[in-house]
Amino acid sequence: MGNRVEFNFPPKRIISLVPSQTELLHSLGLEDEVIGITKFCVYPQNWKREKRIVGGTKKLHLSVIDELQPDLIIGNKEENEREDILLLQEKYPVWMSNVTTLQDAYDMIYQVGNICERSDRATKIVELIQNTFSQLRKKEGSALYLIWMKPWMGVASDTFIHSILSEIGFVNALQSKSRYPELSESDLENLNPDYVFLSSEPYPFKQKHLDKVKTYFPKAKGILVDGEYFSWYGSRLMKAPEYFNSLDLS
């Protein structure tokens, strides 16, 4: 966002507005420093009980944040609403990430580790992620990654999920489009992917949705996938390659 963020180092009262970055803060050992999280920050599970909930990623409870008086708020350009961030910046230091590639994720982890005085742990996390990705068994073929229905929405270029699909070896069926395009029935019929992935988030796709998708792509392999491994860009990446290797693509 082009802003300079000034705060007392290291921060002692942190609010995280993004689930994947909340999990990273836990991995960095910031149990005492994190005081507020969103209702979607489900890892670690005990934090949902022990930390104050400041709303959702798209609808923050600004009054709760004011009660907590944070000395640093950590958010993300894609996941949080600009209007909320601008209001928070008037009162508090707000550090924002913008992650669309795996390298962006590494940079974010390094930077969060640095500003929270956990540089050594951050370096170890990045090294572990890089090591596990070196063990990734590359796939082949084109993949359509769907995240919503009514209307259908897919993942195109300029997204972190697109970057992950490429890392795995897939050609994104929507690579000629940008971000998260809506797809009409005719759009779907004009695609011919080898695989169709229905993500567990943000839309909770189930088997019945997979059956419906097969009517559009009778020759494609349809798979329900755990969206956290494709879209979470924090320490969850340490486990992602193992998950990708376990996918049944036969």
- Residue 33 sits in which domain range? 14-132
Residue 147 and residue 227 in one domain: yes
Q: Is residue 189 scored above 90 in pLDDT?
A: no
Return d(Cα 245, Cα 9) in angstroms, integer.
Answer: 40
Residue 218 contacts by C-beta under 8 Å, 6 or more apart in sequence? none
Residue 19 and residue 118 in one domain: yes
Q: Is residue 1 scored above 80 in pLDDT?
A: no
Global pTM value: 0.93
Q: At 58, is the pLDDT very low, low, confident or very high (cuts 50, 70, 90)? A: very high
Q: How many domains does the chain have?
A: 2
Q: Are strands 182-183 and 152-154 parallel, antiparallel or unpaired?
A: antiparallel
Residue 206 and residue 97 in one domain: no
- Written as one letter, the residue type at 149 is M
Lowest mean pLDDT across 73-77, 163-167, 185-189: 185-189
Residue 111 and residue 65 in one domain: yes
Which tokens belong to 117? 């005085």
Region 134-143 average pLDDT:
94
- Written as one letter, the residue type at 115 is I
Crossing angle of helices 160-168 and 102-115, rounded to 10°? 120
Return d(Cα 102, Cα 136) in angstroms, integer.
Answer: 14
Return d(Cα 230, Cα 70) in angstroms, integer.
Answer: 30
pLDDT (0 to 100) of residue 64:
97
Is 6 inside any structural domain?
no
Is 206 inside any structural domain?
yes
Residue 115 and residue 147 in one domain: no
pLDDT (0 to 100) of residue 4:
87
Residue 187 and residue 169 in one domain: yes
Is 215 inside any structural domain?
yes
Q: Helices (DSSP H) in 97-180: which residue ranges?
A: 102-115, 119-133, 160-168
Residue 128 and residue 32 in one domain: yes
Residue 109 and residue 176 in one domain: no
Percent of the chain with pLDDT over 70: 100
Residue 128 and residue 148 in one domain: no
Region 95-113 average pLDDT:
97
Q: What's the chain's average pLDDT? A: 95
User: Which of these three, 132, 151, 181, is where a domain ends?
Assistant: 132
Q: At 147, which CATH number?
A: 3.40.50.1980
Residue 25 and residue 112 in one domain: yes
Residue 121 and residue 187 in one domain: no
Sole residue written with tokens 């590639």: 101
Q: At 3, is the pLDDT very low, low, confident or very high (cuts 50, 70, 90)? A: confident
Closest C-alpha among 93, 94, 124 to residue 24:
124
